[in-house]
Homo-oligomer: A and B are copies of this chain.
Amino acid sequence: ERDAVDQIRRLLNQTMVPAEVAHALESTPPREREFLWQQIDTETQGEILLYLSEELQTEFLERMSAQDLLTATENLDTDDLADLLQRLPTYSIQQVLDSMEAQERHRVETVLSYPEDTAGGLMDIDSITIRPNITLDVVLRYIRRHDELPHSTDALWVVTRSDVLVGRLYLNELLVSDPGMTVREVMDTEFTRLDAMTPEDEVAQLFERHDLISAPVVNEQGQLLGRITIDDVVDVIRDTAEHTVMSMAGLDEEEDTFAPALRTSRRRAVWLGINLLTAFLASSVIGMFEGTIQKITALAVLMPIVASMGGIAGSQTLTVLIRGIALGHVKGNNIRWLISRELVVGLLNGALWAVVVGLLALVWFDDRMLGIIIALAIIINLVVASLVGTLLPVVLKKLKIDPALSGSVILTTVTDVVGFLSFLGLASLVYLS
C-alpha cells in the first residue's frame, strides 16, 4: 500500500512533465483526481495548474491556503502567474501580490492591468533587450553572462535609451553574421509590433500568417512592454476553435470533462430550458392548426420532415458563416455575394428535395394535393433557412452577441416555425376551403 503511494508520488513529481500530469488529472473522475492532486508537491502544483482548464484551475486554487499558493506560484513566469491570479478572488490576488518583491510585483501588475484576452494579458515580461550601436561580438559576450535565455527566445529586442523598440535581432542572424558588425546593421526593422490592447484572436491570426515564434508588445509610445510566445498562441488557437463546437451545444470550452453529475446537470438545464421555450413556440404554431390535423392526420406524420430539412439546411449555412467570420473571410463587402449564393443553394436543394419528398408523400398517402403542399413547404423552408443562416451570424456579430452560442437556437426556432406554418397553413387553405 505504502509502496504504491510512494510510486505514484514519484511518478507525478519526478517522472512526468507538468503537462502530462495535467493531462492525467483532466482525464480522471473527481475522487481519484483529488487523491492524485494531494500526492503532488506544492512547489510543482503551480506549473501543473498552468496546463489545466479554467474550471479545474479555479477548483484547485480556491482550496489552496495563502501559504501554499505562494509556494506553488513562486517560480512561474510573469504571464503565467497573472493567468492563474485571474482565477482567484480579489483579496487572494492582493495577498499574493503583497508577498512579492517590488520589481516582480510591478511586472505582474502590468500584465494584470490588461484584459486576459488581449496581447497585454498574454505577454511575458522577461525579454532580453540590447542597444542598436553595439557590435554582435559584444552581444554574444553579454548573452554568455546569462545562465539561460527565457523560454522560446528566438530574437533579442533592440531598444533605445528610452525603451522604444527599434529592431529585432534574430538569434539565427546573430549566429551566422560577422561578429564585427553592429546590431543596427543586422537587425530586422520590418516586423509587426502588437499593441497591448490587440484582441487575442488577432494576435493568433498574426502568428499564423507570419509563422512567428515570438512577437513584441508595445505601448502607445512604442516602448517595449513584453513579448508573446507561440506556446501561448497555440492555446488561444485551440480555445477559439473549441469555443465554436462547444457553444453550438450550449457548452463552455473551459468545461471539465469529468465534472460531477450535479454541477453538469445544473449547467445543461439552462440550455434545455431555453430550447424548451422555442419548442413550445413551435408547438403553439401546430396548435393553431389542430382542426386541419384532425381532418388529415397525414399532416402530423409528415410535418416533422419539413421542419427537419429546414433545420439541417439552415445549420449548414450557419456553420459555414460562423467559421468564415471566425477566420476573417466574411466581411462587409462580400456578404451580398454569400447571401445570393446561399439563396441559389437553398432554391436548388429545395427544388430537388421538394420533388423527392412530394413524390414519396404522394405514394405513401395516395394524395396528389398533399405531395404538392409538402413540396411547396420544403422549398419555402429551405430558402428561408438559407437566408436566416447567412444573415443571423452577421447580425449577431454586429450586436456583439456570440453567433456560435445563440445562432443555432434562433435558427432552429425559425425553421421549426416556418416549416410548420408553411406546411400546415397551405394544407388548411387547401383542405378547409
Contact = CB atoms under 8 A, between A and B. Distances in A.
A183 B324 CA distance: 49
Interface string A74-96: 00000000000000000000000
Interface in A311-340: 312-313, 315-316, 318-320, 322-324, 327-331, 334, 337-338
A276 B305 contact: yes
Contacts of A237: 234, 237-238, 241
Contacts of A257: 320, 323-324, 327, 329-330, 338
A193 to B, nearest CB: 16
Interface string A263-299: 0110011011101100110110011001001100111
Interface in A233-274: 233-235, 237-238, 241-242, 244-246, 248-251, 255, 257-258, 260-262, 264-265, 268-269, 271-273
A213 B316 contact: no
A313 B283 contact: no
A302 B51 CA distance: 46
Interface stretch (A62-70, A98-106, A151-159): A151-159
Contacts of A308: 275, 279, 282
A420 to B, nearest CB: 8
A176 B147 contact: yes
A410 interface: no
Interface size class, chain A: 35 or more
A125 B28 CA distance: 39
Given A301-B290, A353-B272, A19 B264 contact: no
A176 B246 CA distance: 45
A146 interface: yes
A397 interface: no
Interface in A146-190: 146-149, 151-154, 171-178
A79 to B, nearest CB: 13
A211 interface: yes
Contacts of A276: 305, 309, 353, 356-357
A329 B33 CA distance: 13
Nearest to A174: B175
A319 B245 contact: yes
A209 interface: yes
Contacts of A279: 304-305, 308-309
B268 A345 contact: yes
6 contacts: A27-B334, A242-B323, A250-B316, A264-B341, A269-B353, A286-B304
Given A255-B320, A269-B352, 7 more contacts: A152-B213, A230-B230, A241-B241, A244-B245, A245-B245, A260-B341, A286-B304
